[in-house]
Chain A
Amino acid sequence: AAGVIQSPRHLIKEKRETATLKCYPIPRHDTVYWYQQGPGQDPQFLISFYEKMQSDKGSIPDRFSAQQFSDYHSELNMSSLELGDSALYFCASSLGQGLNQPQHFGDGTRLSIL
């Protein structure tokens, strides 16, 4: 079965640079979530989209923005990168927003800031 696709898998950037992470949800999934997981931490929710509209916002810095496109893929744009942004970034998707809908995660993008 098709899973959530994230690209790139690994990304190395320097401080103050920008980065764009991409996420392709499972076909027919209309909801996309972004998470940031620091080393040894649990995933922290950043932002989510339902039917191409932002549905919730978590601990996303103002330097980051995201959107969901007409084909339901999503991009997380990160600017003025800082050392503390080094983390594993997950995208997850679900079919609808019901309480019983699990979020299916991609393999993540490992971002390293030098």
Chain B
Amino acid sequence: AQKITQTQPGMFVQEKEAVTLDCTYDTSDQSYGLFWYKQPSSGEMIFLIYQGSYDEQNATEGRYSLNFQKARKSANLVISASQLGDSAMYFCAMREDYNYGQNFVFGPGTRLSVLP
């Protein structure tokens, strides 16, 4: 079964508008970490934001914020004031407690296109 689901293969947003990229996850662990990465067309993977399962507040990093709904097992990424440079693939990833210190599981990604 898919551990991470990103239901939007592609999204479009107008420059300067906000956009939400969906991520739902599946785990039976109480302790886990959720991460978002950006992959531009040039290929590099850029870490954006982290949310811990025990964090009571939603994580924020500049224009990025995470809408974390633990009961729904969702960790949606919100990008405010979109810029042309935000056009990229966005991956949601999870690290679980039983997998302590080991790999991430990535979702299939969402391709975001920002329109001028």
CA distance A102 to B49 in the complex (A): 9
CB pair A100–B107 under 8 Å, yes or no, is no
Q: A8 at interface (Cβ–Cβ under 8 A)?
A: no
CB pair A100–B44 under 8 Å, yes or no, is no
Q: Which of B15-23, B28-36, B80-88 contacts A (4 or more CB under 8 A)?
A: B28-36
Q: Which residues of A contact B (CB under 8 A)?
A: 31, 33, 42-43, 45, 48, 50, 55-56, 58, 88, 90, 92, 96-108, 110
Q: Which residues of B contact A (CB under 8 A)?
A: 31-33, 35, 37, 43-47, 50, 52-53, 91, 95, 97, 99-109
Q: Pick the contact of B103 from A58, A99, A101 — CB < 8 Å?
A: A58
CB pair B104–A45 under 8 Å, yes or no, is yes
Asked if A55 meets B101 with Cβ closer than 8 Å, knowing A42-B91, A42-B107, A100-B50, the reply is yes
